[in-house]
Amino acid sequence: MNFTTMIILPILGFLIGLFVTIIGGGGGGLYTPILIMLGIDPQVAVASSLATVLPTTAVGAYNHNKNNNVDIETGIILGVGGFLGTFIGGYIGTLIGAKLLKILFGVLFLTLALINLKNYIKEQRSKEKIEKKSHVKLTGYKKIFVPLFGVLGGILAGLFGLSGTPPIQLVLLMLGYNATTVIGTTIFVLIFNSIGGICTYGFLGRIDLMLVVLLCSGTIIGAVIGPKVLNRINKEKLEKALPLILISLNLIFGVAMFI
């Protein structure tokens, strides 16, 4: 690792930590592709990304919970599913080569962009005003399908080092949560995914501690500031902007994986 990279990583960590605790995420979807672009082996990038996600989400979730932005009950249900899913994803990841993993990254990002775009267009065309909630009681079939999204998020985290944000945010939006609760609860769920990923890849010895330390030196500061910035943002504008931000990020990184 050269000196320039050692200077860049803490700065990137700060910016990512700030950004993801505002829009809801752990940063895995940003850390991993950026590390790959910097020439880090994809499997090492995945493992180190998951390790970096833990302090980001722990600090972010704590601050979001103080602002009542976390639905703990739903978060635990999704989190336990995610924790189990990371072991499945981590095992699959050991069987896939670096080149194929990068291609799968691109396909995944572009697919998620299309799903989010479809849901956004559907909501915009709907004439009925949907009331957004800060707490949803899971009953009936929801008790079955909601944990499955957690497992899927965990598989994506273990396989791609993405922290597992996309399916978690997708199901929370489908359940009718307001934007701030989607953001806070997602960050809380990702703590479970990160712990599962660290256990899996730590055992395999693929975590680069130097990368983790350099990124965390900036990301923790960003994660403290992010929730405070979120509280100053107009909630109505945030509701409209969040889906568009997610679509844009997925498109950018999806295309980047094929360049």
Averaged pLDDT, 112-126 = 80
Q: Is the pLDDT of residue 33 over 90?
A: no
Per-residue confidence band for 157, with pLDDT thresholds at 50, 70 and 90: confident
Q: Which residues contact 40 (CB under 8 A, 6 or more apart)?
A: 48, 208, 211
pLDDT, residue 126, reads: 67
Averaged pLDDT, 32-44 = 83
Averaged pLDDT, 44-49 = 83
Q: Is the pLDDT of residue 117 over 70?
A: yes
pTM listed for this prediction? 0.78
Per-residue confidence band for 85, with pLDDT thresholds at 50, 70 and 90: very high
pLDDT, residue 255, reads: 83
Q: Is the pLDDT of residue 145 over 80?
A: yes
Q: Is the pLDDT of residue 128 over 60?
A: no
Averaged pLDDT, 229-257 = 78
Lowest-pLDDT range of 70-84, 122-136, 220-234, 244-258: 122-136
pLDDT, residue 123, reads: 73
Q: Is the pLDDT of residue 164 over 80?
A: no
pLDDT, residue 150, reads: 92
Q: Which residues contact 178 (CB under 8 A, 6 or more apart)?
A: 132, 133, 134, 235, 239
Round the average pLDDT of the chain to a whole number and report it.
82
